[in-house]
Every structure is written in structure tokens, then in C-alpha cells.
Amino acid sequence: MFERRRTGRARPRAGALGSVLALAALGLPAAPAQATAHDTAHDTALVPAVTEIPAGAGNGRPLGATVADLAARGYEEREFLMSGGADTFQKTGVWTSGGQWGARRTGVVQDYVTRLLVERPADPAAFNGTVVVEWLNVSFGVDLAVEWSQSYEHYTRAGYAYVGVTTQKVGADKLRSMDPGRYGGVSLASDALSYSIFAQAAEAVRANAPALLGTGTPTTVLAAGHSQSAGRLATFANAIQPIVPAFDGILIHGRGAGAAPIGEGVISLPLTARIRTDTAVPVLQVESETDVTTFADARQADSARVRTWEVAGTSHADGYGLAQYNAQNARDRAINDGRPISCDRPVNTMTWRYASNAAYHHLDRWARGLGAPPAGPQLGLLLGTIRRDGDGNALGGVRLPDLDAPLAAYAPTNSGGEVTGACLLLGVTTPLSAARVRELYPTRQAYVTAFTQAAGRALAAGHLLPADHAEAVARAQATPLP
């Protein structure tokens, strides 16, 4: 089913795969995936085929389409089917907590059809050469573009292209059930295919850039994923990237101490999984307060190719992202029949996005050979609990101005809500009392001064970008005190 190009990369032949594409284009179910023996080199990913989904297919819009005003930012949204044959992998040797994990292909390839959600500059000249490829999160049974929701402002300011990949079976099944007219051909046999599919998305971005990106071949392709996707990226970085070098850099956002299985069934994994220090590509880990208590056992010293930021005041998910998810869900009705997620207390509104934006900026430069990111101090822990000041805010960690000149206390977990587990991840914002605010800032100008100084420190540390610094200071200047 596959033949070798002279470049050494594999490409699909016409025939069975063409039939899958034809069915998918018509919105019809694809034939069941068939496993075939396939011998490939250990230094290449398979190059899949891509075909654009017509704008009016099915319900007429992508499931999970962004709620951002793309036109105002000079961007456009497109959606594609990606199809081919996906490898499966198995572990070799003993996997230890150090992350130097051996893996090999099983020799079995299965057909698949999945989707790519693309946000790209409308003007090809505005593309800066970097693509962020996100392993879409399926913790709630539907694709969620967490990285896009947090950092789309930076992506569109800087000229990145973005590709969200339906990488796991539950996400593919949800697409097909929600809109069979648009996604009837989408089919992933199991999550064991996910690592190969994600690597192939990077290959598709390079090999099919004119179709996917509307421009030439990118110079830098970054991998990103949040929460359960971050656990899979930890496994990808340690076991798959070394034998299938698909990406130029990897951002792992909000993971615990462990990692994800490489195949199906019960597979022995170390309880603690650090990122291998001999990685050939840079890896930046970014953790919220919610994550750190479970991640702490996997802490590791910064090295030439691995950095970790622990961002004080932040929660696993927050109010900024939730506003977008609620708007998408009200439209798509993919979770809880479209009802918004609400918690017992106001959710965390710490400006996580500022740290996320800075992380992408530095990872992009790092992958281009322009220097490593700045260090990020660890959050203070005592007996597994985050140390806090008298107002209840965390000590240590990467410090954003809203935490160093606070008007509220920020906690990492919440309670309540109709969607199981969601509020545990959304954190809490508790405004400081009026008396405490007056004690901290006798005048409004005192608050603006304190905030501006805090923003300057974050800017100098490299944890706040100039555009976000300007936004933050302007917001402080317009904020009334209680």
C-alpha cells in the first residue's frame, strides 16, 4: 500500500487509500481499517494524503471552530481530512524515570482518516515560518484546542500557522457522531495509532504546505499538547521523536508526573517520567499550580534541551479559556447539551495566557537555534503543598504582574458544576477585601505603580512579552479599586 520516495520518506499509492478519501469526501463511512505488514526505516514518518473539506459540508462548519474574530486578525480557518497508514509502536528495554526510552515499530500499519483544523494567515506573506501542531485534548470526550484558546492572540500577532489534530479515537468518534455529513469517513481504530498520526501531521504540514498553509514549506514545526495530551507528548518526546524525528521543538503543558502508554492494554510504565536530557530537540514544560502537586516527583533540573516553568497563581484551566469553550459549546452542543460550565465559586482568572505566549515565543527561538528560554523558578512546596503568603497566593514560581500586584487570591481548584471533574481544574478567584486593598495600595496611583513595576520585572525576566506588557499595564491603569 505504500511505496518509497527517493527522499527516503514513504508516500501512499493510489488504490485503497484513494477509495477511503473518496468515501470521506462524500461523507460516507470508510471501510474498516485493515492491518498490513509494513517495513519502514526508523528515521522517517509516513507522509499522508490531505484533502480539504468543503466549507458547506455537513452542518457547514468545523466542530470546535474558533470563536475568535479571525478576519479582524488577518487569519482564516480551513479544515482538512488527513489519511494514510499509521504505524504502531512497542517499547524496547526497560523504561526508567530518566526518560531514555527505547521503542520500535511493530511492523503493523492500519489505515486511518482523521481531520486537521487549520488557522492560518489569510495573506501568505504574513506567515512567519512557524507552525504549532496541537494534539487536541479529549478529556471531556470531544476535541478541545487548549493551546489555541490560550495563545491565539500571540500566534496571530506573530504570524504563526496553527494545526489542531484529531489524534485519538474518542475525538474521531465524536466528530462522526456529531456531524456524519461532514465527518462520515473519519475513522481511527485505536489510540495505539495516535503517535504515528501525530508525527504524520508534521509530515503533512511540510509536504502539503501549499494546500494546508496556503504558503511554502515552514521552517519550524512545533508540537504542543495540554493535560492528557501532555502525558502523550511526554511519551512522544521520550520514545517516538528519537526514532521518528517529526518536530523541531515540543511544548508540554500541564502534565502530571507520569506519561501515557505507547500501545493498547496494560503496559508497564514508570510512575515518574522525566524528559530525557539527550533529546535532540528542545522541550519546554509549562505547569500550573493545579499540576505541580502531582508533577513534583517528575521535577528535573534545567538542561541544555529541557526547561520547565511553574507559573504561580494559575490553574489547569481558567476563565479566559472557559469563556471560549462555553461559546463553542453553546454553538456545537458537544458537552452537556451546550450548557455552560459553572462552578461553586468564581473561576481562576489569573493571566495564564501571558506565560503561555512567552513560552511559545522562546520555544520558537530555541528551535531556530537562537537561544534557550529564561529559567523559571520552582513554586514553593512544603510536604507536597504549595506555600502561600498571607493573602493566600503562591510563593515562588514564574511571577505574572496580576499576582505580584494582586487584587485577589488565586487558588488552583474549584468545586461543583454539572460536568464531572471540570471545576476541579478551573481554580478560584477570591477578591481581596476593600480594607486589604487599601492597605496594599493607599491610592489608585499606588496600585498602578506597583503593577507597572511587577510587569517590568516579568518583562525583564522574559516571562512577559512586550505586547502583553503593554496590554497589562493599560488594563491596570483602567482598573477601578474597590
pLDDT tens, residue order, the chain (482 aa)? 222 232 333 333 333 333 333 333 333 333 333 333 333 334 556 789 999 999 999 999 999 999 999 999 999 999 999 999 999 999 999 999 999 999 999 999 999 999 999 999 999 999 999 999 999 999 999 999 999 999 999 999 999 999 999 999 999 999 999 999 999 999 999 999 999 999 999 999 999 999 999 999 999 999 999 999 999 999 999 999 999 999 999 999 999 999 999 987 656 789 999 999 999 999 999 999 999 999 999 999 999 999 999 999 999 999 999 999 999 999 999 999 999 999 999 999 999 999 999 999 999 999 999 999 999 999 999 999 999 999 999 999 999 999 999 999 999 999 999 999 999 999 999 999 999 999 999 999 999 999 999 999 999 999 999 999 999 999 999 999 98
For residue 219, with 0-12 CB atoms within 10 Å meaning exposed, 13-18 middle and 19 or more buried, which class applies? middle
pLDDT score recorded for residue 66? 97
pLDDT of 8: 35
What is the Cα–Cα distance from 316 to 288, expressed in whole angstroms? 6
Nearest to 339 by CA among 227, 424, 414, 422: 422
* Contact yes or no for 253/358 (Cβ under 8 A): no
**CA 263 to CA 192: how far, in whole Å?**
5
Q: How far apart are CA 187 and CA 425, in angstroms?
A: 30
Whether 251 contacts 155, CB under 8 Å: no
Cα–Cα distance between 180 and 57 in angstroms, integer? 10
H or E element: which one contains 10?
Answer: strand 10-12
Read out DSSP for 418-439?
Answer: SSTTHHHHH-EEEEPPHHHHHH
Look-up of cell digits 522517517: 44
Contact 127/120 with Cβ under 8 angstroms? yes
Contacts of 213 (CB under 8 A, 6+ apart): 118, 120, 124, 127, 131, 161, 205
Scanning 340-465, the segments in alpha helix (DSSP H) are 352-367, 401-404, 422-426, 434-440, 444-461
Of 285, 276, 278, which is closest to residue 225 (Cα–Cα)?
285
C-alpha cell of 385?
Answer: 503543598
Q: Alpha-carbon distance 341 to 277, whole Å?
A: 39
How many other C-beta atoms lie within 10 A of the C-beta of residue 384?
Answer: 10
Q: What is the number of residues in the chain?
A: 482
CA proximity to 33, closest of 172, 234, 149, 143: 172
Q: Which of the 8 DSSP states describes residue 237?
A: I
Question: Parallel, antiparallel, or unpaired: how do β-strands 49-52 and 75-92 relate?
Answer: antiparallel
Residue type for position 472: A
pLDDT, position 45? 66
Q: Which residues are paired to 128 by β-bridges?
A: none
pLDDT at 265: 63
Find cell 489534530 and name the residue. Answer: 165
Rounded CA-CA distance 262/264 in Å is: 7
Q: What distance in Å separates the CA atoms of residue 99 and residue 97, rounded to the nearest whole number?
A: 5
Write the single-letter amino acid at 303.
S
Is the distance from CB of 264 to CB of 191 less than 8 angstroms?
yes
> What are the beta bridge partners of residue 37?
108
**Residue 374, Cα to own-chain centre: how many angstroms?**
21
